[in-house]
Amino acid sequence: MSSRISPKEVAHVAMLARLSLTDEEAELYASQLSSVLDHASDIESLDIHDLEVTAHPLGLVNRTRSDSVVSGLSQAEALSQAPDEAQGMFSVPPVLGEPS
Amino acid sequence: MSEMTNMSAFEIAESVNNQTVTATSVVEKSLALAEALNSKLNAFLAIDREGALRAAAKVDSIIASGGSPGRLAGVPIALKDNMCKVGLPTTCGSRILQGWIPPYDATVTKLLESEGAIIVGKTNLDEFAMGSSTENSAYGPTLNPVDLTRVPGGSSGGSASSVAAGIVPVALGSDTGGSIRQPASLCGVVGVKPTYGRVSRYGLVAFASSLDQIGPFSSSVMDSALTLEVIAGFDLKDSTSYDEQMGSLSAQKGLSVEGLRVGMVTEFVEGSDLEVVSALRDAANALTSLGADVVEISIPETKLGLSAYYLIAPAEASSNLARFDGVRFGLRVEGSNIEETNVLTRTKGFGAEVKRRIMLGTYALSSGYYDAYYAKAQQVRTLIKSGFERAYQQVDVLISPVSPTTAFKLGEKSLDPLAMYLSDVCTIPSNLAGHPAMSMPYALDSKGLPIGVQILAPALREDLMFRLAFALEGSSTGAPSLDDSIKEAINRG
Amino acid sequence: MANAETDLKDLGVRGESDFLPDGWELVCGLEVHTELKTKTKLFCGCANVFGAQANTNVCPTCLGLPGSLPVLNERALEIAAMIGLALSAKVQASIFHRKNYFYPDMPKDFQISQYDIPLNADGYLILPSGKRIGIERAHVEEDTGKITHLGGASGRIHGAERALIDYNRSGVPLVEIVSRPDIASPEEAREYVSELRSTLVAIGASDGKMEEGSLRVDANVSVRPIGETPFRTRCEIKNLNSLRSLVRAITFEAHRQVAAYLAGEKVTQQTRHWDESAGRTVALRNKEEAEDYRYFPEPDLVPLRPSEEWIEGLRSQLGELPKERRARLVESLGLTDTNDQIETAISVELYPFARSALAAGLDPKITVARCANELASLAPLDESFEISWFVELLRMETNGEVSATQAKSILAEVAKNLISPKAAQERLGFSQLTDDQLTKTINEAILQNPKEWERFRTGEAQLQGFFVGKIMKATSGKADGKAVVRILLATAEQR
Ligand SMILES: [Mg+2]
Ligand SMILES: [Zn+2]
């Protein structure tokens, strides 16, 4: 079994994705992800760096809407599914750090 | 089986408009079946008895006052539970969205309802549409009504199962890598993935935005044609929706396929089971006898599809699923700060397959790997597109297997993600290219399990695809026999 | 030993270009975020307004609800390209990317922004001083919601007990203007932001209100010994919400870094926060730590391919930029450089007055002076204050129908009551004295001051002021000075 991705890397990726894993899970995911990445070695080895990418199958461009106000949700509707609210706002536990 | 549930959407709409039956009686029957069968199939995550009957009564009152409720008047329709309808929960088969009630309608919901269709409920799916068996639902697997020991395919397994069992004539699914066509094939119904951009994705909870596309399931080709005609079209709310009108699909019925050049894709045939290949050859022969020119054609680029797909789809998913963070909606597991809350919520709320793909996608996008994985995979899409383009210079449409196998046993592939991923090998290339493709039930294997034939067409040529499907319908073995316990429940009801 | 965290005061600095110790120079680049003046948000139809009740300008898209999709605001795109054109940048084909990171004010947990291919690239801004500041890029992106930190010390993030989030601002269109590290002093930074702001306001892109957050500045600051070519480690300073903070923060930070180097310490790359009350920058967290935004092309939006016609159409809407306004006034005053009066007169509020008066052929000196002094002191002017009133008043003053002093009083009256200058003149009782009335008053003054008159008549020109003063006094200032002089001289000639 190749290990293209180590349990340590899996743990780092989980941190970026805001997931927590047990050590056993990290091991398991490392081996499963490695086998998927192994399969992907067929495209990794292709020499196609000058080729265009296809991000949009149909090649549409310049899609815009006009700058006119459309009514959205009321405050009550916006908050109706909130796990917690206060003073018309979404309430969450304190934020540790500033965004980068 | 009751007469009414045997009626196609086309017949229901006609009968309701003619006042031969009432929408209420049709919907009542559909609800009764849904309720009777759901304990066995687990096809529905929500059955909206009250809302459906209210909508049916409205259709009936429009008819009574001489109005015309639309092209799908009184047709009971099920929505895969990743499409929004105000007032009904949308769970995506996930714990993280348990009980979430969207405050807005998906564009498809609006379009269906504006033509008189009645949404009877929301169907089960692999969590966030990630899977090929509908076993990855937080609310338990859906079973195949043809054989309850087997999976219905996925991820739109609930929609395929509910149509195959005759609960609804039409259901909507979403197809990111084969999630409509593969379950359609495994359950023996028609399933259509339109051209990317043909149907608005507004209100479809995104899995992989550049691949996702909504489409219909139905028992007959005509019902899918009719439904797609209703839901297709430009939507100002979806920047990727296509603005050119689609030609009539229902008008393709009865048109000749004589002289039509049909290519059988070598690469998709190679890895498929013998019985699946033999069904495809039967279909090819049938087309030949109808005057089409069938040739074998090789598109080697499609072999790269699986790898590209399993980098692109998880990458987009990792970003699309970031918003499930416990702040604004859905599950929250509160920690001492927001960072911890995000982690606790997501760790508890997502199932294993979703986490696996989020991590794979996060990895593929992370610094140092982006060029080797994500960017490369997007280039492979260009290769696959050009492979199809080359093929379409020689032929008008393509045919292939849908799935390399017929319906597999529950649990058979759940321990090996890669083996499960391989069941999408024939369907994925169409998503990567953005082309339309559909699954036509065509034959049964030695166990009586359905085998579908895939019809692929160039971008925006749904008309050609349907012409071939209508032509093939005549020689199809028809609907499979349902599992005995399902038959029994239907008869009792 | 020099403490790197020394207080600003102890450094005894004021912010001029030679503000650093001998042999050191500042290398500074600014990132300016400007909110665009559109009716709606960048990707949804919610109103783009400041100060509404929390979570009332929201919809599925700007709340990031599952299944929602973004659709680009046409006007936001136009304004963004106009910013590029105003900064002499190349407006080019571009795409949107997703910048992925978790933060509760960002509903999708990614920001739709532009990354390696921005809408506008490679521009510059020429400061009034003539210095050219390079603009690397000006790209389009969406704003975040707003967090209120509850409990704890002072509404600050540290020590808070709860966070409340309002998403009204989420999705408001922003353009981020990234300068090259061409700024060499805190004063230059101020000049750059202020010129940029005037430019944005002039083209109608922004209301330029720093205090409402519609213009926000981050500064990338590093220092190096003069003569050294490579850049040294830089720190990014956030929360600079006034020009004063900008100057103070850059000054502090540059000194902090020099002090660190002089003490043999290293400067670490980090994000720092400007603490206005303490007058210092404080470290937020180290940049090396887990910063991986996983940018990738936004699949829900399609590429932008601006056409030549579209770009030229926008260029024709730009109007006169501050640099062009400045040049016009400098030239019409016959000067070679700008001055404070000109800088005031080219502001967005005053310039239309100056422009119209000049176009009407009125005296440039009076025009600029009345704009920069009297009109400026009356700002903000009511919306129904008509430009033609100002032009008419200047005409009255130039023709001698009213005196300079009267003109100023009339202007104040016009602004206060929103009436025409003629009406104001009447209301103030400034109906101009006729020549006959003036001649009579002048003759009286001559009779009362025969000696002085004789001296004036025989060539002592300095006595002109004496007589003008007498006549002004006699007419309670209602006389037009110019007319008085004219009649005085004519009378002296006759006798
Ligand atoms: Mg930015
Ligand atoms: Zn909105």
Instruction: Annotate B356-422 with three-state secondary structure.
Output: HHHHHHHHHHCCCCCHHHHHHHHHHHHHHHHHHHHHHHHCCEEEEECCCCCCCECCCCCCCHHHHHH
For residue C495, what pLDDT is reported? 65
For residue C289, what pLDDT band results from cuts at 50, 70 and 90? low
For residue A100, what pLDDT band results from cuts at 50, 70 and 90? low
Q: pLDDT tens track of chain B, all 493 residues? A: 334 447 999 999 999 999 999 999 999 999 999 999 999 999 999 999 999 999 999 999 999 999 999 999 999 999 999 999 999 999 999 999 999 999 999 999 999 999 999 999 999 999 999 999 999 999 999 999 999 999 999 999 999 999 999 999 999 999 999 999 999 999 999 999 999 999 999 999 999 999 999 999 999 999 999 999 999 999 999 999 998 889 999 999 999 999 999 999 999 999 899 999 999 999 999 999 999 999 999 999 999 999 999 999 999 999 999 999 999 999 999 999 999 999 999 999 999 999 999 999 999 999 889 988 999 999 999 999 999 999 999 999 999 999 999 999 999 988 787 788 888 999 999 999 999 999 999 999 999 999 999 999 999 999 999 999 999 999 999 789 999 999 999 888 6
What chain A residue is nearest to C37 in terms of C-alpha separation?
A: A67
Establish if B126 belongs to a structural domain. Answer: yes
pLDDT in tens, C310-344: 999 999 999 999 999 999 999 999 999 899 999 99
For residue C491, what pLDDT is reported? 87
For residue C239, what pLDDT is reported? 79
Establish if B312 belongs to a structural domain. Answer: no
Lowest mean pLDDT, pick from A64-68, B445-449, C378-382, C475-479: C475-479
Which one of the listed residues B80, B110, B122, B193 is annotated catalytic? B80
Ligand 1 center–CA C78 separation, angstroms: 19
Catalytic, B278? Answer: no
Q: Which domains does chain C have, with CATH numbers?
A: 2-297 (no CATH), 322-427 (no CATH), 435-494 (1.10.10)
Which chain B residues in 230-289 lie under 8 Å from chain C, judged by CB atoms? 236-240
For residue B2, what pLDDT is reported? 38
For residue B415, what pLDDT is reported? 79
The ipTM value here is 0.97
Establish if B96 belongs to a structural domain. Answer: yes
For residue B451, what pLDDT is reported? 98
Establish if B367 belongs to a structural domain. Answer: no
**Of residues C381 and B393, more confidently modeled:** B393
Which residues, at least 6 apart from A27, have a Cβ–Cβ distance to it below 8 Å? A7
Lowest mean pLDDT, pick from B137-151, B327-341, C159-173, C393-407: C393-407
Ligand 1 center–CA C262 separation, angstroms: 33
Catalytic, B80? Answer: yes
Lowest mean pLDDT, pick from C117-126, C409-418, C467-476: C467-476
| Interface residues from chain C to B (CB-CB < 8 Å) | 60, 63-72, 98, 100, 102, 104, 107-110, 163, 165, 292, 294-296, 299-302
For residue B419, what pLDDT is reported? 80
**Cβ–Cβ of C66/B83 closer than 8 Å?**
no
For residue B1, what pLDDT is reported? 35
For residue C155, what pLDDT is reported? 60
Average pLDDT over residues C355-381: 92
Ligand 2 center–CA B103 separation, angstroms: 13
Establish if B102 belongs to a structural domain. Answer: yes
Q: How many domains, chain B?
A: 1
CATH number for the domain harbouring residue B453: 3.90.1300.10
Establish if B119 belongs to a structural domain. Answer: yes
- The residue range of the domain holding B211 is 2-240+393-492
For residue A2, what pLDDT is reported? 59
Establish if B267 belongs to a structural domain. Answer: no
